[in-house]
Chains A and B, each alone.
Chain A
Amino acid sequence: MPLHPLHRMLLGATVTLFLGVLLSDVAYGQSYEVQWKNFASWLIVGGLLVGGLTLLWALIMLLRADGRSGSPVVYVLLLVASWIFGFGNALIHAKDAWASMPTATVLSVIVVALAGAATWRGFVSLRAQAAS
């Protein structure tokens, strides 16, 4: 069963917000301009909020899955993982000034990878499974 368009929108927004975090972290690392870190901190909050809604929707989908239209377990797990690492990233970003670096950037890469994989899984795999 393909994802509901609104579900897809939330999913796409999650990975985009987390990508914004990563880009802001890179900019902070290059420039020491602390405003980039402020941007990153708020983008994480956005990512966690939208990602949380996505996860909620995905969990409901998991509970209602009938097995025939492809199992969303891996998709849900990837979302959970990206949310947990995203939350950890929020705490790391709350360290003052350069204390968050370079851990912040490393975590941002992991979060984008996990959210990206979840999105891929959500957009392609589930539909492919449903089609087969």
Chain B
Amino acid sequence: MKHRLITSLAVPLLFLAACGGEPETQRYGSEPPLPDPQRGLLPSMEIASPAPWGEQRPAVPQGYAIAAIATDLRIPRQTLALPNGDILVAEGRGGGAPALTPKDVIAGIIKARGTSSVDGGDRLTLLRDADGDGVFETRTVFASNLNAPYGLAFVNGRIYVANQDALVRFDYQPGQTTASGPPVKVADLPSALNHHWTKALAASPDGRFLYVGIGSNSNITERGMPAEVDRARVWQIDAQTGAHRPYATGMRNPTALTIQPGTGELWAAVNERDEIGPNLVPDYVTSVRDGGFYGWPYSYWGQNVDTRVQPQDPQKVASAIRPDYAVGSHVATLGLAFSTPAMGAQFADGLFVGEHGSWNRSPPVGYRVVFVPFRGSHPAGSPIDVVTGFMGADGKTHGRPVGVTVDPRGALIVADDLSNTIWRVTPVARGAASSGAASTATPR
């Protein structure tokens, strides 16, 4: 009798816990099928289990080589190729929004297990390969005492850096290995709470404007709407005056911005919302329309209403734009770079996308760099694996890709913020020994 009573009380709860669905394969492209939202009693979590690279290396397609050009960095996030071929690396760890709920406390402890334990560098490191042999023999600290620098841009002889709280700039002379002085502030950026702290950055080709991606302060408004003032949007900032205006809104977390060569159009990689299923909502890459509203928080992938947001706003939903291209739910797109023919025929026209990897999906996804092929300045076709092997089949994770940068001379630079390494992928010249670009440094 006792037992039956306990069972009858416990059963409804178990029932609730059991109603999670099976993850299907990920869907890509401009019209991804969207399953119904669902969530069991517990959110799915599968945290990367960090392990050193050892003798292993990320895998690249045949005809390409990969090498570590810098190791033992302090949380490298985004990189920038300067005109003389030097590589600038932004290192840092930002955020620090206070835990508001018991869930925040528990999730914070769990998620920390899947990241590097190194302190963020709050600096820019410069890497130089003077003789072009693929070995970056010079390494200097270009600037330090920054505040979680992330987005980088070079335009009109200036280096712009998006700290987590301000856009700053350095004057730059070709060949410089250290900044000649402290940075000049261009504009303050929204930094209260900074749940999504990364500030992505791109410069308009004429250098008049800078575009800054500002992530939301929550997954889906669970910190309340007042926390979302000036969040989940892309700002256009006047390089001269520092004045800003919202360029596009409703982008939950625009983690990478870049300008499309030829069209001059702004493109963004956006991380979408969590906790409504393993195959919702797709992270996406999209051209960014001036004045466009992309749904967050009221709707996703266009006008699919998210009922977790109350009160709702049907008018905003009606104006929501569908993004261009889905790269898969929870992959965490953090890197974005247009390719160049110097990368080889297979990757001549399209976008490289760095996928940091999921923490809230089982099985995990992402943990790779993909290539989205373009035709006529639009995405055409499925993503192609470019750099893989960051997470082994055993779940051991050696690295997590963040920023991707195309060196116009024919190299893909990938920042890895778990092993604190910068990887360089190059096409192997036909007939050349494949060991030509052998590893130059050993990541831990």
Interface residues of A (CB under 8 A from B): 32-35, 37-38, 41-42, 44-45, 73, 77, 80-81, 84-85, 87-88, 90-99, 101
Contact = CB atoms under 8 A, between A and B. Distances in A.
B41 A99 contact: no
Given A73-B2, A96-B308, A88 B222 contact: no
A98 B275 contact: no
Contact residues of B: prevailing secondary structure: loop
Nearest to A94: B103
A35 B223 CA distance: 8
B9 A81 contact: yes
Contacts of A85: 9, 13
Contact of A38 (B100, B275, B310): B100
21 contacts: A32-B311, A34-B222, A37-B222, A41-B102, A77-B2, A80-B6, A81-B5, A81-B9, A84-B9, A85-B9, A91-B42, A92-B41, A93-B101, A96-B218, A96-B275, A96-B308, A97-B220, A97-B308, A97-B310, A99-B307, A101-B310
Contacts, number: 74
A58 B17 CA distance: 28
Given A97-B222, A99-B275, A32 B103 contact: no
Nearest to B8: A81
Contacts of B275: 95-96, 99
Contacts of A77: 2, 5-6
B126 to A, nearest CB: 41
B223 A34 contact: yes
A43 B5 CA distance: 26
B370 to A, nearest CB: 28
A34 B224 contact: yes
B30 to A, nearest CB: 28
B258 to A, nearest CB: 30
B221 interface: yes
A41 B6 contact: no
A93 B100 CA distance: 13
Contacts of A88: 13, 16, 41
Nearest to B221: A97
A106 B379 CA distance: 47
B16 A94 contact: no
B13 A42 contact: no
Contacts of A42: 101-102
Contacts of B10: 84
A44 B219 CA distance: 22
B97 interface: no
B321 interface: no
Contacts of B102: 41-42, 44-45, 90, 94
B41 A91 contact: yes
A99 B308 contact: yes
B227 to A, nearest CB: 9
Nearest to A29: B310
B59 interface: no
B132 to A, nearest CB: 50
Contacts of B218: 96-97
A96 B9 CA distance: 25
B139 interface: no
Contact of A98 (B2, B103, B308): B308
Residue of A38, A77, A84, A90 ringed by the most chain B CB atoms within 10 A: A38
Contacts of B311: 32
Interface in B18-77: 39, 41-43
Interface in B201-234: 218-224
Contacts of B42: 91
